[in-house]
Structure 1
Amino acid sequence: MTVLPAMDCVFCRLIGEGTAHWVAREAEAEACAFAPLDPLAPGHTLVVPTSHYAGIFDTPPDVLARSMTLVQRVATAMRTTLGATGVNILSASGPGSEQSVPHLHFHVVPRWADDGISTWPTGVSSHRPTADPLTHLADALR
Structure 2
Amino acid sequence: MECIFCRLVRDGDARWVARGREACAFAPPDPLAPGHTLVIPTSHRADIFDTPPDVLAHTMALVQGVADAMRTELGAGGVNILSAHGPAAEQSVPHLHFHVVPRWSDDAFSTWPTGQSRHRIVGDPVRRLADAMSCTPATPPRGGR
TM over 0.5: yes
Relative contact order (alpha carbons < 8 A, sep ≥ 6): 1 or 2 greater? 2
Q: 1:12 aligned to 2:14?
A: no
For 1:118 and 1:36, locate their aligned partners in 2 and report how far apart those are by CA, in whole Å.
19
Tell me the C-alpha RMSD between the 2 structures. Answer: 1.0
> 3-state DSSP class of the match of 2:58?
helix
What does 1:1-142 align with in structure 2 at a 5 Å threshold?
Answer: 8-26=2-20, 29-117=21-109, 119-142=111-134
Query: 1:55-90: per-residue Cα shift (whole Å, max 9, x none)?
Result: 000100000011000000000000000000000000
Identity of aligned residues (%): 73
1:88 alignment partner, SS class? strand
Segments of structure 2 that go 5 or more residues without pairing to the other structure are: 135-145
Please give the alpha-carbon distance, in whole angstroms, between the structure 1 residues aligned to 2:117 and 2:105: 10
Structure 1 unaligned blocks of 5 or more: 1-6
2-side partners of 1:125 and 1:118: how far apart?
A: 7
Query: Aligned residue pairs: how many?
Result: 134
| 3-state DSSP of counterpart to 2:47 | coil
CA distance in 2, matches of 1:81, 1:67: 21
Using structure 2 for the length normalisation, give the TM-score.
Answer: 0.90
- Displacement after TM superposition at 1:24 (Å): 0.2
Q: CA deviation digits over 1:80-107, x for unaligned, max 9?
A: 0000000000000101011110000000
C-alpha separation in 1, matches of 2:125 and 2:75: 10
Deviation at 1:120, TM superposition (A): 2.4
